[in-house]
Amino acid sequence: MYQKVLFPTDFSPHSQRITGQIREIPGISEVVLMHVVDTPGQPGAGDGAGTASEQARSRLAKEQKILESQGLTVKVELEVIEHTIPEGSIGSRIQKVAEREKVSMIIMGARGKSPHDLLLGSVSTWVLHHTSIPILLVKSKPGDAPSLTESIPGSLPVFSKVLVPTDFSAPAEEVIRFVKAISGINEIILLHVINKGKDDPRLPEYLEPATKKIDMMKKELERSGFLVKTYVLAGYPPDEINSLADEENVTLIALSPLGEGWVRELKEFFVGSTTYAVVRRATHPVLVVRPPL
């Protein structure tokens, strides 16, 4: 399904984790390995140890060799910038390469070097908000990043146990269709969160119809051969989604950036507050799937 994937790396431990796990992506055969050198912001440039671009080429070659040892075809893209630029400009270069190479997915580490967004990374944030290509954001817990050649010990494949939050909107239904087409999934967990307090007296009138809808979705997925578990919870959706992801120890959260209140004319650039809050707080990989234009 994801035959050709763009992997922008900043050589951080979070990117190294991706190098160890990228082979788990269903159907992957080709990787576009990309790095952007912002020379004024690169320590060590011109200090006798080689230029920043030369150092980057060396590190890219090392990662290329590791990825090729996994049976993948690797194309290397090195972008060199001679003047300091905002993270959005780096993100736009990532997007342009993704579109030019016609990749089916972008995979990125979800933490970056910028202090402006310590929970996500400003470049990842820009790409999340602007790309129309599915993006897989791999979150790392402190201290769990493996070496380049290893995956997390005892970890399950990224696409084996997937949590799919739904608000029953058309974009959420598109995520279900997308997930159904992915091979290798052992279990799907469907979640609907009623955005009400757990003690709200009107909760029962929302609970019954939501339970009926999610049960219908479960039956349809079971007919397609999936093992399915369902939850209908009340509370603040991002907190409930991430809490359940931790409780169930899922390998992936898959959701749409758009919700029931989305605006069609803006859908190429809009990321809903729930999706963004989930991504920022998540300790699990998050796949963000946009509906087709």
Residue 270 has a pLDDT of 45
> Rounded to an integer, what distance in angstroms lies between the CA atom of residue 145 and that of residue 161?
20
In the CATH scheme, what architecture does the domain 4-138 have?
A: 3-Layer(aba) Sandwich (3.40)
Q: Helix, strand, coil % (nearest 5) of the chain? A: 40, 20, 40
Q: Is 50 helix (H, G, I), strand (E, B) or coil?
A: coil
Residue 266 has a pLDDT of 39
With 0-12 / 13-18 / 19 or more C-beta atoms within 10 angstroms meaning exposed / middle / buried, residue 279 is buried
Residue 146 has a pLDDT of 45
* Residue segments in the chain with a per-residue pLDDT below the cut of 70: 38-50, 82-88, 111-121, 140-156, 259-272, 291-293
Residue 216 has a pLDDT of 96
| CATH 3.40.50.620 in the chain, residue ranges | 4-138, 161-288
> Rounded to an integer, what distance in angstroms lies between the CA atom of residue 130 and that of residue 276?
13
* List of residues 6+ apart from 33 with CB closer than 8 A: 7, 9, 60, 63, 64, 67, 74, 75, 76, 77
For the segment 161-203, what is each residue's pLDDT rounded down to a tens digit?
999 999 998 888 989 998 998 888 999 999 999 999 888 898 9
Residue 120 has a pLDDT of 57
Residue 113 has a pLDDT of 43
- Domain range 161-288, CATH class: alpha beta
pTM for the predicted model, two decimal places: 0.83
